[in-house]
């Protein structure tokens, strides 16, 4: 998954730019255009803050992402995989 700073709406967060098929994000149902606003309750204010929050977690750890999609807020559980595959 890749994300960029959200500049397309007034919602503060990181907008999903790409979801790799078969990735943890894909398996969790994350979609291109989703705006991730928090990770386990910690605010996501930019794509950099999203990266920092995810890097602090362990492989195999489940995180709860709060996302804005189509004007609605959803909670999505994601189990982190290894960047190596």
CA–CA dist 50, 15 (Å, integer): 10
pLDDT for the residue 37: 96
- Calculate mean pLDDT across residues 77-82: 87
- Calculate mean pLDDT across residues 63-77: 95
pLDDT, one tens digit per residue, over 9-58 is 778 899 999 999 988 889 999 999 999 999 999 999 999 999 999 999 99
Structural fold of domain 2-79? Pdz3 Domain (2.30.42)
Kindly report the pTM of this predicted structure: 0.87
pLDDT for the residue 62: 95
Instruction: Name the residue ranges covered by the structural domains of the chain.
Output: 2-79
Query: Is residue 3 a contact partner of residue 14, using CB atoms and an 8 Å limit?
Result: yes
For residue 8, is pLDDT > 80? no
What does the chain look like in DSSP terms, one character per residue? Answer: -EEEE--SSS--SEEEEE--TTSHHHHHT--TT-EEEEETTEEP-SHHHHHHHHHTSPTT-EEEEEEEETTEEEEEEEE---TT-
């Amino acid at each position: 998954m890749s994300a960029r700073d959200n500049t397309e709406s007034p919602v503060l967060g990181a907008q999903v730019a790409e979801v790799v098929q078969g990735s943890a994000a894909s398996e969790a149902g994350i979609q291109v255009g989703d705006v991730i606003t928090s990770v386990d309750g910690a605010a996501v204010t930019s794509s950099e803050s999203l990266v920092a929050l995810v890097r602090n977690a362990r492989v195999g750890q489940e995180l709860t992402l709060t996302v804005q999609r189509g004007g609605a807020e959803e909670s999505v559980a994601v189990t982190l995989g290894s960047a190596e595959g």
